[in-house]
Structure 1
Amino acid sequence: MNSEPLRIGVMGCADIAWRRTLPALTAHPDVRLTAIAGRDPGKARRFAERFGGEPVTGYAALLERADVDAVYVPLPVRLHADWVGRALRSGRHVLAEKPLTASAEDTERLVALAASRGLALLENFMFLCHSQHARVRDLVAQGAIGELRTLVAEFAFPPMADGRNIYRPELGGGVLTEVGVYPLRTALLYLGAGLEVRGAHLQADEARGVDVAGAALLVAPGGETAHLTWGAERSYRSRYALWGSSGRIEVAWAFTPSAAHRPVVRIERQDHVEELTLPAEDHFAGAVAAFVNRVRDGVPSVLEGETVLEQARLVDQVRRRALGPGGQAAPAVPTIGGSRGTR
């Protein structure tokens, strides 16, 4: 076991880094934050004043430092393929915000690059590191709802202020890559590999040129289905339900629980309803711990490997089903039935 602290540099001064990931990184006893890089020197300095490390101007300068073993990348998704690749080629382990890239092709290239160099490459789907999902998986495996037939997952929130990356197509904006990936990843978690997208719809915002809502129907090799909905123009919702042959399990705060939230898992059967209240925990801290354990001790993580590739392929399938082979956002998007959908 390596007893030296893992020296991490941060590539980008994103809001998610400020609010959640950097507090978790700096709280880990085996992590030392050595540098924070940003295009804006003032912003990098402000981050460093709060979290420690040295402010660095420019992402390339971060990779020239000798005191960086690993890199956390919270950049806009369109920049991931380039900068994650550069970090890996420089010999650094990488924890990248989700999604890893904007396409399955780029994701496959980066995963292969990391494997060829013996480096850890984890996609920060932090919700997967919350133990509530492991508890639900155990319940399903124990037959709590009989045989799993259908999964329903929903993730949406009200409109956000203009200027956020989600509304900027040049940075890879749109809710499929920012929000839709959560329900898709949930489908993979419970239904496994080999999912096929049988139908998809993306609703576009004509003024912004990005998708602001979506839905998909997936079918597993065994015939199980997943009904997924996401969006940025709705009231808040963050939940999924598993419907089996003899019951149903629902997780009401699935993707964005605070560190103080005590999850409630609801189990419904024909003549019985049970609610399990689970301990509170910080899934950002869980993701950081998974990354550190992977880098230092080689512990496999749910945030890496073949499932990352499956996720990227599903996103591409949804685009192709909803938008056609080009997969480009447009002012009006074809629906499953071929009619034109507008905001």
Structure 2
Amino acid sequence: MGVLGCADIAIRRLMPTIAGLDGVEVVAVASRSRSKAEQVAGRFGCAAVTGYRDLLKRDDVEAVYIPLPPRLHYEWVAEALQAGKHVLAEKPLCTTHVETVELMAVARERGRVLAENFMFLHHSQHDAVRAMVAANAIGRLQVFSSSFGVPPLDPAGFRYQPALGGGALLDVGVYPLRAAQLFLPELEVLAATLRYDETTGVDVAGSALLAAPDGVAVQLAFGFDHSYRCEYALWGSTGRIAVDRAFTPPDQLKPPVRVERQDQATELAMPADPQVRNAVRAFVQAVRSGVDGPIEERATLRQAQLVEAVRDVARVTGSPARMLRAAG
């Protein structure tokens, strides 16, 4: 694999994980800065490449991991697929639904694996919760709720830059949206809010109300102007299930899941599960097994539609003018 960009998540999570897996290795890392590429390459014993395009020309690179800011995904995922590389791209795959559709088509045409890297989907706790819901542990599902909020981040980072696809919706809001689809694959956005920061022009907080065809309500909240919160809950006719570390559980953590019924509450410790390793392994297995197109294509396209729908219906506070100008 090659890595396009020296993002923190690549250095801290993905590259060490790849180094510990059999059957896959990082052979090169690219940056626009030669010194930065050399610094990261030295840590992981791989080649340093100046410029993303030069990495894509390498014959020893079968697949690439792309942790670039969201606004750069479309260009570089497309180039990687056209160069014959399989692609694991950080979420969100693109910043628009149209771009997502186009990349899916390119992946199919080129016969290359394309995956959006929602690592939390590869933690076994979610399968366990779905099994409980299917076994009628909480009766008929009435409400799904989820929150993902973090304290203010580095103001110099891409998350506060409209031109790079910054903002809370694309960074943390996509997680509750994707989690809801684990249980309710057909959703309609009814209402939303987005609060923009007047200085940076990016959204720093938001919420959304959605509904399933059978009337199940979905309530979501997100932002990076909050105390840390990372959870979802399913409220049914006879009980409730709450998942407290839904999106970013450390590898060694046994995530707590609380099951509440009338006059009874049970705290379960789900097995520890390394979701980063699981996500990389699933991508590698897809490549090695000969999958010749996008992974989870329907869910990825639906996710992009929901993100756009939240933007379209949102009641906005603050000024998104800088973001709109950057989007052009």
Q: TM-score range by the shorter chain?
A: over 0.9
Please state if 1:155 is matched with 2:148.
yes
Equivalence map 1:200-215=2 (5 Å): 200-215=192-207
Identity percentage over the alignment?
Answer: 51
Structure 1 residue corresponding to 2:101, chosen from 92, 104, 108: 108
- Structure 1 stretches lacking a partner, 5+ long: 1-7, 334-343
CA distance in 1, matches of 2:68, 2:6: 8
CA distance in 2, matches of 1:255, 1:302: 23
- Answer yes or no: is the 8 Å Cα contact 1:154–1:228 preserved in 2: yes
Report the alpha carbon displacement of residue 301 of structure 1 after superposing the two structures with TM. Answer: 11
Please state if 1:40 is matched with 2:33.
yes
CA distance in 1, matches of 2:87, 2:32: 19
Please state if 1:57 is matched with 2:50.
yes
Q: Which residue does 2:188 correspond to in 1?
A: 196
SS across alignment from 1:145: coil
Structure 1 residue corresponding to 2:61, chosen from 65, 68, 86: 68
SS across alignment from 1:139: helix
CA distance in 1, matches of 2:143, 2:116: 26
Please state if 1:120 is matched with 2:83.
no
In 2 relative to 1, CA 301–92 (structure 1 residues): closer, same or farther, beyond 3 Å? closer
- Answer yes or no: is the 8 Å Cα contact 2:113–2:291 preserved in 1: no
SS across alignment from 2:304: helix
Q: Which residue does 1:219 correspond to in 2?
A: 211
In 2 relative to 1, CA 315–243 (structure 1 residues): closer, same or farther, beyond 3 Å? same
CA distance in 2, matches of 1:299, 1:93: 10
Report the alpha carbon displacement of residue 303 of structure 1 after superposing the two structures with TM. Answer: 5.6
Please state if 1:255 is matched with 2:220.
no
- Answer yes or no: is the 8 Å Cα contact 2:37–2:49 preserved in 1: yes
Structure 2 residue corresponding to 1:80, chosen from 41, 49, 73: 73
SS across alignment from 1:30: coil
Please state if 1:22 is matched with 2:44.
no
- Structure 2 stretches lacking a partner, 5+ long: none
Q: Kindly provide the amino acid, as one letter, of the partner of residue 84 in structure 1.
A: V
Q: Which residue does 2:179 correspond to in 1?
A: 186
Q: Which residue does 1:138 correspond to in 2?
A: 131
In 2 relative to 1, CA 302–190 (structure 1 residues): closer, same or farther, beyond 3 Å? farther
CA distance in 2, matches of 1:16, 1:150: 33
The one-character-per-residue Cα deviations of 1:195-234 (angstroms, maximum 9, x if unpaired) are 1100010000000010000000001111111100001001
The one-character-per-residue Cα deviations of 1:129-185 (angstroms, maximum 9, x if unpaired) are 000111101111111111111100000011112111110111010010011000000
Equivalence map 1:322-341=2 (5 Å): 322=314, 329-330=320-321
Report the alpha carbon displacement of residue 101 of structure 1 after superposing the two structures with TM. Answer: 0.5
Q: Kindly provide the amino acid, as one letter, of the partner of residue 93 in structure 1.
A: H
In 2 relative to 1, CA 332–169 (structure 1 residues): closer, same or farther, beyond 3 Å? closer
CA distance in 2, matches of 1:294, 1:310: 21
- Answer yes or no: is the 8 Å Cα contact 1:121–1:304 preserved in 2: no
Report the alpha carbon displacement of residue 332 of structure 1 after superposing the two structures with TM. Answer: 11
SS across alignment from 1:248: strand
In 2 relative to 1, CA 323–301 (structure 1 residues): closer, same or farther, beyond 3 Å? farther
**Greater shift after overlay, 156-165 or 196-205?**
156-165
TM-score (norm 2): 0.95
The one-character-per-residue Cα deviations of 1:86-138 (angstroms, maximum 9, x if unpaired) are 00011110000000000000001101111122211000000010001111011
Q: Kindly provide the amino acid, as one letter, of the partner of residue 130 in structure 2.
A: R
The one-character-per-residue Cα deviations of 1:1-26 (angstroms, maximum 9, x if unpaired) are xxxxxxx0000100111111111111
Report the alpha carbon displacement of residue 302 of structure 1 after superposing the two structures with TM. Answer: 10
SS across alignment from 1:134: helix
CA distance in 2, matches of 1:171, 1:65: 27
CA distance in 1, matches of 2:126, 2:198: 37
SS across alignment from 2:321: coil
In 2 relative to 1, CA 309–73 (structure 1 residues): closer, same or farther, beyond 3 Å? same
CA distance in 2, matches of 1:75, 1:332: 18
- Answer yes or no: is the 8 Å Cα contact 2:97–2:301 preserved in 1: yes
SS across alignment from 1:32: coil
RMSD: 1.9
The one-character-per-residue Cα deviations of 1:36-58 (angstroms, maximum 9, x if unpaired) are 00111111111111122100000
